[in-house]
Amino acid sequence: MSKRVLMVTVAVLWGLLTASPVSAERASVDRIEDFATVLAVAFPDTFPLGSLMRAECSFLVRVERPDGSAAETQICTLSDEPVMVPEFQGAPPDQAFRLDGGPCTWTSDYWWNVADSPVYADSFSYVVTPAGAVRATSTYPAVPLVCE
């Protein structure tokens, strides 16, 4: 029996010593706080007329994976500050408003704030509540999208 235990122990140790980790790299995490953004609060046929509002974001967390792809989550609150074009000014929705989209329709608030650069999301989703709370998530490929 002790010979069998010794062989199993040697096999386990050999496996531990020769096994390579799945990934030696770790994801990086960055957080920015207190910035403004503009987003749709409605999507009528006449978009963007009466559809946009400013929001104050308390924070955005960006998680970049070892392969260079990333995910961002941000928490914001609608603002009373008007948007630049008065005809585009919207109002908080009467019921929760959700907007989802694919490539080249959402730009990263992270990159606008840290590098003043448009970096396009692969996908995004956000919800605006009647109380003005906003929660947005977006994903980014490892190789930045080229959008026109």
Model confidence at 19, pLDDT cuts 50, 70, 90, reads very low
Q: What local confidence, expressed as pLDDT, does residue 24 receive?
A: 57
| Residue 116, token pair as written in the block | 């003043």
pLDDT at 7 over 60: no
Token output for 46: 């006449």
Sheet strand arrangement including 28-40: 28-40, 52-64, 70-78, 133-140, 123-128, 97-101
Residue 52 pLDDT class (50, 70, 90 cuts): very high
Specify the pTM.
Answer: 0.81
Model confidence at 6: pLDDT above 70 = no
In the predicted structure, residue 2 carries a pLDDT above the cut 60: no
Q: Residue 52: which of 79, 34, 22, 19 has the closest Cα? A: 79
pLDDT score of 137: 98
Please state the rounded mean pLDDT for residues 32-46: 97
Residue with the larger pLDDT of the pair 7 and 34: 34
- The reported pLDDT for the residue numbered 141 is 98
- Residues with Cβ within 8 Å of 15's Cβ and at least 6 positions away in sequence, in order, are none
The 3-state secondary structure of 11-68, one letter per residue:
HHHHHHHHCCCCCCCCCEEEEEEEEEEEEECCCCCCCCCCCEEEEEEEEEEEEECCCC
Which tokens is 106 given? 């959402």
Q: What is the pLDDT of residues 100-143, one digit of tens each?
A: 999 999 999 999 999 999 999 999 999 999 999 999 999 999 99
